[in-house]
Amino acid sequence: MTEITRVPLHPIAKGSLTKLWIGIIAVILIGAAVAYAAVPKGVEVDTLQAGTGPHPTEADVILVNYTGKLKNGKVFDEGKAAPLPLQGMIEGFKEGALQMQKGGKYVLTIPADKAYGAEAKSNPQTGEVVIPANSDLVFDIDLLDFMSMQDFQARMAQMQQMMQQQQQAQGAGGAAPPR
C-alpha cells in the first residue's frame, strides 16, 4: 500500500502575489537595462538632404565639405572640398560614409569606441588636446563626389603636371600668355 504524505497548504497572505509580480517585473527591467548598456552604440547617419546614385565603397576617396565637432558643439576640424580616402579614416567615419550618396547632406554621430576611444588627439603644432579621450564625435557632411583611389591618383597627377607646366611657362617668359 502506498503512503501519502500530506503537507498542509496555507492561504497566500494578502498582497504577496502583487509583491511577487512587482519583483519579477523589476528583475526583468534591470536585466533589460544591463543588456542595453552592454550593447555597443552604433554610428548614426541622419539625412538632412538625400543624395542620389550609388554609395561609396571602402576603396573610394570621398570629396566633402565637413565640420567635425565634439558633442558639446566645439569645432575641432573643418574642410572644404576635402578629399578623404575612406581606407585611412576612423572606423565610424568610414561606416557612416558608406551609407551616404553623392549630393546628400548628413549629420554623422560617431560613438567614442568607433572614433579614437581612450586615445586623446592633440594639435601637432600647439600640443593642445582637440579631441579628449572617450569623446563622441559629430560631423556635418556634404558629400560632393566620390571616386576610386586609382581615379583620384590620376587626377592628382594631372593637376601636378598642369601646375609644373604653368610654373615653367612663368619662369621662362614671365606670366603665361592669355588665351
3-class DSSP string for the chain: CCCCCCCCCCCCCCCHHHHHHHHHHHHHHHHHHHHHHHCCCCCEEEEEECCECCCCCCCEEEEEEEEEEECCCCEEEEEEEEEEEHHHCCHHHHHHHCCCCECCEEEEEECHHHCCCCCCEECCCCCCEEECCCCCEEEEEEEEEEEEHHHHHHHHHHHHHHHHHHHHHHHHHCCCCCC
Domains of the chain: 44-155 (3.10.50.40)
Does residue 98 carry a pLDDT above 60? yes
% of the chain beyond a pLDDT of 90: 64
pTM of the predicted model as reported, rounded to 2 decimal places: 0.70
* pLDDT value of position 173: 61
How sure is the predictor about 174, in pLDDT bands with cuts at 50, 70 and 90? low
